[in-house]
Amino acid sequence: MTTAVAAALTLRGFGVSPGRRVGVVARMPDAPPAPSPEPVAPGSDLGAAAAAVDHAAAQVRDALARAAEAATGEAADILAVTAAMAADPSLADEARRRVLETRVSPARAVWDAAELVAEQLRGLGGMFADRARDVQDVRDRIVAELLGLRAPGVPDPGHPFVLVARDLAPADTARLDPSTVRAIVTAGGGPTAHTAILARSLGIPCVVAVGGALDIVDGETVLVDGSTGEVVRHPSAEAIERASHARPRPTRLEHPGATADGHHVALLANVGDPAGAVAAADAGAEGVGLFRTEFGFLGRTAPPGIAEQVAAYTRVFAAFPGRRVVIRTLDAGADKPLPFVTADDEPNPALGVRGLRTSWSHPQVLDDQLAAIAQAAASSEAEVWVMAPMVATADEADAFVDRCSAHGLAQAGIMVEVPAAALRAGDLLESARFASLGTNDLTQYAMAADRELAGLAQLSTPWQPAVLSLVRLACAGGSARDRPVGVCGEAAADPVLAPVLVGLGVSSLSMTARALPDVGAVLASVTLDECRALAALALAQRTADGARSAVRAGLPVLDELGL
């Protein structure tokens, strides 16, 4: 049977970035095979061979660092982390030892050394296990450099295409070009994995954890629906025609967020650096609901000084004069280990010393950051709010508010990422002035499901009724204290989920800037009472799929918007 006459076949995964696109497939090439284990020829200069490892690792590190400097937001953060991994001396040290002691080629030495490091990370489990994929990506790049081959990465067929892959390394995802990549389909990944987050930030429709994705071949035509999670192989001519003539998606929010009856819902942006703040302002964001400050700390062996932090924060605040900017203090730990505040031997870093907990043993890092925020805020016209990540108890909330007050920062709040904080939000918000729900971690902890694992993707969704119940409880706690509760996790970027969150009591939604117009359009189509009815409908369902399907059926505007 030829492709031209093959019957349509629908594969299903998890839609993580909305939009409907059709295109010709280009498969992500598999990783290079393992180099030969044969020893180098007698008389070879082993010293020069060992030095070649250092040179290749440095070349890869510098290339990734340059890419990080040219990128913005999430992409810059991810590339910086990967560059730091390439600079980690443990991999090169082990590879050099193998060259000198076992006489294997530099490429084979790097291959074996990387596998050793990756195996150690997998043995630690949790977030450390997720880094094993990054080690393999760095390995492939160093091996390619040593062998004079093109570095692994996204294919370039010379025309727009649908990218199909087993999974994407963070460094590959961070450099996707939305002008040529029409959609993404992966066999691995989950709703809150790096691929999903970056696809949304780039506006590329994406479906992850697709069963049968690896059966799709180069040159095949597929239709990808990033909203429903469907991938149609051999779509009909009619389906292709409809997708090809879909209305272009708006790229800018033209009006403040509000329901059809005028209930204001602040539509804010998540940003990771000054360039991202400027882009968010240009996209019409009403403010910043999550300013991630890790960009100034990643890839360093010591924290930046106060003056350096002041300069960076001032540039972000300047993009939003007179508007709210919620800045999050350092969220180190778990998948963002930093040598000056986190240990490298935690057995389960996702449940370890991360976020605000790092200040227990390194208080000066937090105090310096609060001092820098205060100085930058004093010279800015922005309305600066400060929040701490990974707050679990009322004692922690009280202590953070006191430390902010000591620096003259009155608007001090907390992130609700731990189920305990959602359950007792009223206690935490007695002192904290506001709360922001980090739905990625809240979902991960509530469902005991690593968000990066494709096999757990069906659990790792904020549509889980249990997660929605936690959101409702957190909002109720905020209402009891007359404190606003927003959402800054990836759930805020889902235009189908947005009215449900508003119906549960959420007062603001912060997301990747690309998602602002879609979310705004859906909210403008429903009244506050209809949002509450949709929230009740979602909570009444037994399953995540049931909740999403029921809400989609109650939002006819989605078809009109191509969502």
Q: Tokens for 413?
A: 């709040």
Buried b (16+ CB within 10 A) or exposed e, 68-89: beebbbbbbbbbbbbbbbbbee
Distance CA 156, CA 180 (A): 9
Say what the alpha-carbon torsion angle 169, 68, 308, 57 is, to the nearest 10 degrees.
Answer: 80
Q: Helix, strand, coil % (nearest 5) of the chain?
A: 50, 15, 35
Q: Tokens for 388?
A: 């701490």
Let me know: does 463 contact 544? Beta carbons within 8 Å.
yes
Distance CA 365, CA 104 (A): 44
Length of the chain: 563
Question: Which of 404, 475, 488, 531 is labelled catalytic?
Answer: 488
Active site residue 194: yes
Distance CA 423, CA 476 (A): 10
Active site residue 404: no
Instruction: Specify the amino acid at residue 200.
Output: R
Sheet with 221-225, side-by-side order of all strands: 9-12, 230-233, 221-225, 20-27, 161-165, 181-186, 206-208, 14-17
Let me know: does 374 contact 409? Beta carbons within 8 Å.
yes
Q: What is the DSSP letter of 493?
A: G
Distance CA 74, CA 70 (A): 12
Q: What is the DSSP letter of 322?
A: T
Let me know: does 162 contact 180? Beta carbons within 8 Å.
no
Question: Which of 55, 194, 234, 255 is labelled catalytic?
Answer: 194
Distance CA 541, CA 475 (A): 20
Let me know: does 332 contact 294? Beta carbons within 8 Å.
yes
Task: Report, as residue numbers or ranges, the catalytic residues.
Answer: 194, 488
